[in-house]
């Protein structure tokens, strides 16, 4: 998995602010996962699955913030395993 010096290099401050402002789940839930906020939680997917923050934001926008700990996780895990439409996000075929 390629490592970038700054995985947020293409994410502007306004997008980071928007992502954190759209959070509907209590901040404590993100902190239970070791994240400081919602965007930091998205970074965990980069480090664990190699999915870019941009791709995670796209999926999160599609699914909605209430799916951060359910649908988003399932979609990314399935994509990492090569199942479903998200597999194309990881360089595979859908």
pLDDT score for 27: 97
**Long-range interactions of 44-50: CB distance < 8 A, separation 24+:** 45/76, 46/7, 47/7, 49/76, 49/77, 49/79, 49/80, 49/90, 50/1, 50/2, 50/80, 50/90
In a domain, 52, yes or no: yes
- What residues make up the domain containing 23? 13-90
In a domain, 6, yes or no: no
In a domain, 64, yes or no: yes
The count of structural domains within the chain is 1
Query: Which pTM was predicted?
Result: 0.79
In a domain, 1, yes or no: no
DSSP string, 43-92: HHHHHHH---HHHHHHHHHHH-GGGTTTHHHHHHHHHHTT-SGGGGGGTS
In a domain, 37, yes or no: yes
Q: Copy the structure tokens of residue 24.
A: 């509907």
What tens digit of pLDDT does each residue of 14-65 get? 999 999 999 999 999 999 999 999 999 999 999 998 898 999 999 999 999 9
In a domain, 7, yes or no: no
In a domain, 3, yes or no: no
pLDDT score for 90: 56
pLDDT score for 3: 39
């Amino acid at each position: 998995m390629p490592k970038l010096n700054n995985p947020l290099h293409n994410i502007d401050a306004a997008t980071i602010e928007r992502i954190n402002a759209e959070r509907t789940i209590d901040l404590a839930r993100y902190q239970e996962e070791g994240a400081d906020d919602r965007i930091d939680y998205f970074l965990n997917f980069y480090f664990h699955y190699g999915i870019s923050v941009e791709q995670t934001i796209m999926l999160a926008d599609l699914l909605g913030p209430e799916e951060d700990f359910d649908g988003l996780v399932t979609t990314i895990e399935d994509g990492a395993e090569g199942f479903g439409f998200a597999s194309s996000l990881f360089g595979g075929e859908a």
